[in-house]
Chain A
Amino acid sequence: MGSKVTKAPKIKANRLSFPERIGNAFSAFAKRFVDGSLGTKLSHFIFGAGNFYHKQYMKGFLFLLIQAGILALMIFCPSINGTPYGWKALQNLSLRNVSDGGDFDPLTGQFTSGSDCKLMVLFGFVTIAMIVIYFLVWNLNIASSYKSDMDRKVGKKPSTFREDLRDLLDGKFHVLMLTPTCIAATLFTILPTIFMIALAFTTYNQQDMNDLGTNLFHWNGLQNFRAVFTGEGSLGVEIHARFLPVLGWTFIWAIFATLTCYFGGIILALLINKKGLKGKKLFRTVFILTVAVPQFISLLAVRNLLGQYGPINSMLMDLGLTAAPIGFLGLNPSDSEMLAKVMVIIINMWVGIPYTMLMTSGILMNIPADLYEAARVDGASTVKMFFKITLPYVIFVTTPYLISSFIGNINSFNSIFLLTGGGPTYTGYQAGGTDLLVTWLYKVTIDQGSYNTGAVIGIFTFLITATITLITYRRSKAYNEEDTFQ
Chain B
Amino acid sequence: MKKVVCMILAVAMMATLLVGCGGSSTPSTPDDGIIRVWVGEESAEFYQKVCNEYVAAHPDFGYTVEVKGMDTGSVAGTISNDPTAAADIYTVAHDNIGKLASTQCAKPITDEALIDQVLADNPESFQSVIYSTLNDKSYLYGVPYISQALFLYYNKAAVTEEEAQSFEGLQAAAQRAGTKAITVTGDDGFNMSFALLARKVSDHSTTVKIYEGAEAKSGGSKGVSNCQGDDTVAIVRWLQAFAADPNGFKWASSDGWDADLDKDNQGVLAVIGGAWHYNTAKAALGETNLGITVIPTFTLTAEATQGLTGVAAGDVYRGGTFADCKCFMINAYSAPGKYAKEQELIKYLSSKEVQNASYLECLNVPAYTGATDFIKQCYSDGKVTESQYNLAAMQVAMAEWGIPQPFITGTLNTYYYSKNAPSVFRAMIDQTAYPTTGDQILSETTSLEGIRRGLYLIEYLWMHGVTPDSFPASLPAQA
Q: Which residues of A contact B (CB under 8 A)?
A: 81, 100-104, 106-111, 114, 169, 173, 176-177, 180-181, 183-184, 187-188, 206-207, 209-215, 231, 234, 237, 240-242, 245, 307-310, 327, 329, 331-333, 423, 426-429, 448-449
Contact between A177 and B465 (Cβ–Cβ < 8 Å)? no
B interface bracket (residues with beta carbon within 8 Å of A)? 35 or more
Q: In the bound complex, how far is the Cα of B412 from the Cα of A211, in angstroms? A: 8
Q: Considering the complex, which residues of chain B in the window 260-308 have a beta carbon less than 8 Å from any beta carbon of chain A? A: 262, 265, 267
- Of B44-52, B231-239, B425-433, which binds chain A? B425-433
Contact between B108 and A104 (Cβ–Cβ < 8 Å)? yes
Contact between A237 and B103 (Cβ–Cβ < 8 Å)? no
Q: In the bound complex, how far is the Cα of B107 from the Cα of A151, in angstroms? A: 67
Check if B171 is an interface residue, CB within 8 A of chain A.
Answer: no
Interfacial chain A residues near B104, Cβ < 8 Å: 100-102, 111, 114, 215
In order of increasing CB-CB distance, the 9 nearest A-B pairs are A241-B438, A428-B435, A331-B254, A109-B339, A213-B218, A213-B102, A106-B110, A427-B436, A426-B436
Contact between A81 and B28 (Cβ–Cβ < 8 Å)? yes
| Chain A proximity of B76: nearest CB distance (Å) | 10
Contact between A104 and B259 (Cβ–Cβ < 8 Å)? no
Check if B32 is an interface residue, CB within 8 A of chain A.
Answer: no
Interfacial chain B residues near A209, Cβ < 8 Å: 103
Interfacial chain B residues near A214, Cβ < 8 Å: 102-103
Contact between B336 and A110 (Cβ–Cβ < 8 Å)? yes
B27 to A, closest residue via Cβ: A81
Known: A231-B439, A241-B439. A180 touches B218 (CB 8 A): no
Interfacial chain B residues near A104, Cβ < 8 Å: 107-108, 134-135, 139
What 1/0 mask marks residues of chain B from 93 to 133 whose CB sits below 8 Å from any chain A CB?
00000010011100110100000000000000000000000
Q: In the bound complex, how far is the Cα of B414 from the Cα of A81, in angstroms? A: 28
Contact between B10 and A180 (Cβ–Cβ < 8 Å)? yes
Interfacial chain B residues near A107, Cβ < 8 Å: 110
Check if B475 is an interface residue, CB within 8 A of chain A.
Answer: no
Between A81, A111, A327, the greatest number of chain B beta carbons within 10 A of the residue's beta carbon is seen for A111
Known: A104-B134, A427-B435. A109 touches B255 (CB 8 A): no
Check if B385 is an interface residue, CB within 8 A of chain A.
Answer: no
Interfacial chain A residues near B336, Cβ < 8 Å: 108-110
What 1/0 mask marks residues of chain B from 335 to 378 whose CB sits below 8 Å from any chain A CB?
01001100000000000000000000000000000000000000
Q: Considering the complex, which residues of chain B in the window 1-51 have a beta carbon less than 8 Å from any beta carbon of chain A? A: 3, 6-7, 10, 13-14, 17, 28
Interfacial chain A residues near B427, Cβ < 8 Å: 427-428
Known: A212-B219, A332-B254. A449 touches B81 (CB 8 A): yes
Check if B410 is an interface residue, CB within 8 A of chain A.
Answer: yes
Q: In the bound complex, how far is the Cα of B11 from the Cα of A180, in angstroms? A: 8
Interfacial chain B residues near A237, Cβ < 8 Å: 435, 438-439, 467
Q: Of A176, A245, A309, A429, which is within 8 A of B7 by CB?
A: A176
Contact between B436 and A108 (Cβ–Cβ < 8 Å)? no
Contact between B437 and A241 (Cβ–Cβ < 8 Å)? yes
Interfacial chain A residues near B423, Cβ < 8 Å: 427-428
Contact between B437 and A245 (Cβ–Cβ < 8 Å)? yes
Contact between B81 and A426 (Cβ–Cβ < 8 Å)? no
A310 to B, closest residue via Cβ: B255
Between A102, A310, A331, the greatest number of chain B beta carbons within 10 A of the residue's beta carbon is seen for A102
Known: A102-B135, A308-B253, A309-B259. A180 touches B14 (CB 8 A): yes
Check if B317 is an interface residue, CB within 8 A of chain A.
Answer: no
Contact between A215 and B439 (Cβ–Cβ < 8 Å)? no
Known: A211-B410, A309-B255, A332-B253. A206 touches B80 (CB 8 A): yes
Q: Considering the complex, which residues of chain B in the window 455-471 have a beta carbon less than 8 Å from any beta carbon of chain A? A: 465-467
| Chain B proximity of A358: nearest CB distance (Å) | 26
Interfacial chain B residues near A308, Cβ < 8 Å: 253-255, 259, 267
> Can you report 5 A-B residue pairs in the complex whose CB atoms are below 8 A from each other?
A173-B3, A214-B102, A214-B103, A329-B254, A332-B254
| Chain A proximity of B89: nearest CB distance (Å) | 12
Between A107, A307, A309, the greatest number of chain B beta carbons within 10 A of the residue's beta carbon is seen for A309
Between A108, A209, A211, A426, the greatest number of chain B beta carbons within 10 A of the residue's beta carbon is seen for A211
Q: In the bound complex, how far is the Cα of B304 from the Cα of A272, in angstroms? A: 67
| Chain B proximity of A9: nearest CB distance (Å) | 33
**18 more CB-based (< 8 A) A-B contacts, given A180-B14, A213-B411, A429-B437:** A103-B135, A104-B134, A184-B13, A184-B14, A206-B81, A210-B80, A210-B99, A211-B411, A213-B102, A237-B438, A241-B435, A308-B253, A327-B254, A423-B254, A427-B430, A427-B432, A427-B436, A429-B435
Q: In the bound complex, how far is the Cα of B289 from the Cα of A128, in angstroms? A: 67
What 1/0 mask marks residues of chain B from 433 to 455 whose CB sits below 8 Å from any chain A CB?
01111110000000000000000
| Chain B proximity of A247: nearest CB distance (Å) | 14
| Chain A proximity of B316: nearest CB distance (Å) | 31
Q: In the bound complex, how far is the Cα of B10 from the Cα of A176, in angstroms? A: 9
Q: In the bound complex, how far is the Cα of B330 from the Cα of A207, in angstroms? A: 22
Check if B90 is an interface residue, CB within 8 A of chain A.
Answer: no
Check if B420 is an interface residue, CB within 8 A of chain A.
Answer: yes
Contact between A212 and B218 (Cβ–Cβ < 8 Å)? yes
Q: Of A109, A187, A188, A309, which is within 8 A of B110 by CB?
A: A109
Q: In the bound complex, how far is the Cα of B428 from the Cα of A427, in angstroms? A: 10
Interfacial chain B residues near A332, Cβ < 8 Å: 251, 253-254
Check if B332 is an interface residue, CB within 8 A of chain A.
Answer: yes
Check if B418 is an interface residue, CB within 8 A of chain A.
Answer: yes
Q: In the bound complex, how far is the Cα of B439 from the Cα of A307, in angstroms? A: 32
B264 to A, closest residue via Cβ: A309
Check if B409 is an interface residue, CB within 8 A of chain A.
Answer: yes
B133 to A, closest residue via Cβ: A213
Contact between A215 and B103 (Cβ–Cβ < 8 Å)? yes
Interfacial chain A residues near B328, Cβ < 8 Å: none
Q: In the bound complex, how far is the Cα of B4 from the Cα of A211, in angstroms? A: 58
Q: In the bound complex, how far is the Cα of B432 from the Cα of A471, in angstroms? A: 43
Interfacial chain A residues near B108, Cβ < 8 Å: 104, 106
Check if B322 is an interface residue, CB within 8 A of chain A.
Answer: no
Check if B415 is an interface residue, CB within 8 A of chain A.
Answer: yes
Q: In the bound complex, how far is the Cα of B340 from the Cα of A308, in angstroms? A: 52
Contact between B135 and A210 (Cβ–Cβ < 8 Å)? no
| Chain A proximity of B180: nearest CB distance (Å) | 12
B13 to A, closest residue via Cβ: A180
B418 to A, closest residue via Cβ: A207
B333 to A, closest residue via Cβ: A111
A330 to B, closest residue via Cβ: B254
Interfacial chain B residues near A106, Cβ < 8 Å: 108, 110
B12 to A, closest residue via Cβ: A180
Contact between A309 and B265 (Cβ–Cβ < 8 Å)? yes
Q: In the bound complex, how far is the Cα of B332 from the Cα of A101, in angstroms? A: 12
Q: Of A187, A213, A327, A423, which is within 8 A of B409 by CB?
A: A213
Interfacial chain B residues near A176, Cβ < 8 Å: 7, 10
A113 to B, closest residue via Cβ: B104
Q: Of B17, B414, B434, which is within 8 A of A188 by CB?
A: B17
Contact between A213 and B430 (Cβ–Cβ < 8 Å)? no
B132 to A, closest residue via Cβ: A213
| Chain B proximity of A82: nearest CB distance (Å) | 9
Interfacial chain B residues near A211, Cβ < 8 Å: 410-411, 414-415, 465
| Chain A proximity of B17: nearest CB distance (Å) | 6
Interfacial chain A residues near B10, Cβ < 8 Å: 176-177, 180-181
Q: Of B28, B414, B437, which is within 8 A of A426 by CB?
A: B437
Q: In the bound complex, how far is the Cα of B434 from the Cα of A346, in angstroms? A: 32
Q: In the bound complex, how far is the Cα of B108 from the Cα of A100, in angstroms? A: 17
A209 to B, closest residue via Cβ: B103
Interfacial chain A residues near B418, Cβ < 8 Å: 207, 448
B220 to A, closest residue via Cβ: A213
Q: In the bound complex, how far is the Cα of B6 from the Cα of A448, in angstroms? A: 45
| Chain B proximity of A229: nearest CB distance (Å) | 14
Contact between A309 and B267 (Cβ–Cβ < 8 Å)? yes
Contact between A184 and B17 (Cβ–Cβ < 8 Å)? yes
Known: A106-B108, A111-B332. A213 touches B438 (CB 8 A): no
Q: Considering the complex, which residues of chain B in the window 177-231 have a beta carbon less than 8 Å from any beta carbon of chain A? A: 218-219
Q: In the bound complex, how far is the Cα of B426 from the Cα of A116, in angstroms? A: 38
Interfacial chain A residues near B426, Cβ < 8 Å: 427
